[in-house]
Amino acid sequence: MSPNQLVDRRKAIKQASLLLGFTITGPALTGVLNGCTPSKVLDWRPSFFTEEEAFLIEAASARILPSGETPGAAEVNAVRFIDQMVAEYYLPEDQVRFRTGMQALEAHSEETAGKSFIKASESEQDTILSEQALTARKQFLDIPDSPQPFFLMLKELTILGFFTSEIGATQFLNFDETPGGYQGCVPMEDLGGKAWAT
């Protein structure tokens, strides 16, 4: 197609609307031109989380174990694993602490970034989570008998969810579907530098 045949998007929409016998109003045209995207919708039903909480945990776990040259928490749907673990295996008081932690994370994001955690940039999310990690570590070290802080719970579940997934078990750990005899003390070099998944 030659440059003379190219039509800009705005002109094409106006011409199409005139051919159809109506005009597009300013707000509608702005929405179309800006690529108006629909709200994100979950494709699964959480057991414990609300939809908003699921998006929050999905975003946070994706920054704890980000994608890059290798898959991360998002690729293994760690959020579903975390939801199931909290719903089915956490005691009620731990569920309350987890939910309170999610609310505190969101409030911290609103306070520091001026927006919801899921709407914050990756850089802003990393800063917020780093602050949460420092606070959790300090709390955990200063009060040894205190319950596990929310951030440490989230990080633990994210990592556990990743390494118990098919991707984590087969690409990052040695995996043998039908293992042989037990060898309790084997040098890591003999295992190719990876621990066993099974």
pLDDT tens-digit map of 44-74: 999 999 999 999 999 999 999 999 888 999 9
**DSSP three-state, residue 59:** helix
With contact defined as beta carbons under 8 Å apart, do 198 and 164 qualify?
A: no
Tokens 């945990």 locate to 57
- Identify which has the larger pLDDT, 81 or 10: 81
Residue 81 has pLDDT above 50, yes or no: yes
CA–CA–CA angle 188, 82, 140 (5° rounding): 75
Phi and psi at 196, nearest 5°, equal -80, 140
- Identify which has the larger pLDDT, 29 or 75: 75
pLDDT band at 171 (very low <50, low <70, confident <90, very high): confident
Q: What CA–CA distance (Å, rounded) separates 95 from 176?
A: 35
What is the Cα 83 distance to its own chain's centre?
12
Q: What CA–CA distance (Å, rounded) separates 53 from 102?
A: 7
Is the pTM higher than 0.85? The answer reads no
Instruction: State the amino acid at position 45 in one-letter form.
Output: R
